[in-house]
Amino acid sequence: MKNLKPYSENSFAFFETVVKKKRNEDLKDRLDLIKSDIQTKFNDYDTHFQKNILESLSEHDKFSKQQIEDFEELYSYKSATFKKLLITLSTSDNKRKMGCPYCGIGEVSTFDHYLPQSRFGAFTTHPKNLICCCGKCNPKRGNRWLDANKKRATLNLYLDILPDVQFLFVEIDIMIDKVETKFSLKNSGNINPILFSMIDSHYDRLELCDRFSENSSDIITSFVNTIKTYQNLGNFDSILKNTLEALSKDQNAFGYNHWSTILKIELIKHKDFKLLLKY
Ligand SMILES: [Zn+2]
């Protein structure tokens, strides 16, 4: 899980670029007639975004079924304009392409519409409503964005600043023929309860803890193989100490809740870790 920088240029200008690239002239004419309404909606989104009160935006008001269909037709994550946006939003300051900011497992390949397309058609192409993610996280988040109390049920990685303390933990069970992992969340660092509840609901929605466990095996195998190689080079205890130091630097770089870093740290600290190095 990683915070992202939102689109920094003019949101409505992006919309106009998308429209300009379309070849369907009827669609363009229809959209031209409601241009000022769309601009007002976009400005409204920007204001709510800036104040972090997206939950008070109203759904499809004013727009007809045809207009909603037109908004949907504008969006295609495979088109050149959206591909370019995806690259911009998923490239970090040091020019590196990021992994999926939701799960940290998959590659960024698509956009999640934070306010769902089915209810907020006008924002289908609003660049601040688009969150880059992988193809597994996108459908899992789905259309649910408010809970029963009308509070946001999933995090907005542009707006909800992730706490700088560990909330993701893993229990590891090392057996002769396999290693089992169980990831869970715990608010042991005095995280604001409202924020923690949203983090918890977000992880639950995206089934992140189960997906981390399912993906643990490759990380463990590769990590154990690396340690085995180092093992032949010198004093075992100092190898473990140096590896832990490197992992702590990874935490500084990738955050305190990067699942595979947490997994490696707990592995190395595990009382039975040496058993894994025998085979
Ligand atoms: Zn993902």
- CA 51 to ligand 1 center in whole angstroms: 27
Calculate how far, in angstroms, residue 117's C-alpha sits from the geometric centre of ligand 1.
19
**Residue 146, pLDDT score:** 85
CA of 104 to the centre of ligand 1 (A): 6
- Nearest in space to 241 (alpha carbons), one of 277, 272, 260, 269: 269
Q: How much is the average pLDDT of 10-35?
A: 94
**What percentage of residues in the chain have a pLDDT greater than 90?**
68
Cα of 105 to ligand 1 centre, how many Å?
Answer: 6
Q: What predicted TM-score, i.e. pTM, was given to this entire model?
A: 0.89
What ranges do the domains of the chain cover?
A: 11-141, 168-276
CA dihedral of 93, 97, 103, 109, whole degrees rounded to 10: 130
Q: Which of 251, 276, 262, 152 is nearest to 215 (CA)?
A: 262
Alpha carbon separation from 223 to 105, 180, 245 (Å, rounded):
16, 15, 15
With beta carbons less than 8 A apart as the criterion, state whether 240 and 268 touch.
Answer: yes
| Residue bearing tokens 């992730």 | 162
User: Given this model, what pLDDT does residue 189 score?
Assistant: 86
Contact in structure between 227 and 131 (CB atoms under 8 Å): no
User: Of 17-26, 75-84, 145-154, which range is least confident?
Assistant: 145-154
Check if the beta carbon of residue 154 is closer than 8 Å to that of residue 144: yes
Continuous H helices in the chain: 11-21, 25-33, 35-50, 65-74, 80-89, 137-141, 193-205, 208-214, 216-231, 236-254, 259-269, 273-276
Strand partners, 112: 131
Q: Cα(210) to centroid of ligand 1, in Å? A: 13
- Sign of the four-CA dihedral 139, 28, 30, 130: positive
CA of 206 to the centre of ligand 1 (A): 8
The predicted-structure confidence for 166-181, as pLDDT tens digits, reads as follows: 999 999 999 888 899 9
Mean model confidence pLDDT for the chain: 91
84 CA from centroid of ligand 1 (Å): 19
When mean pLDDT is compared across 101-115, 153-167, 204-218, 223-237, the lowest value belongs to 223-237
SS3 label, residue 256: coil
- Residue showing tokens 């459908």: 139
pLDDT category, 230, cuts 50, 70, 90?
A: confident
The Å distance, Cα 141 to ligand 1 centre, comes to 10
pLDDT at 198 over 80: yes
Task: Say whether 168 sits in a helix, a strand or coil.
Answer: strand
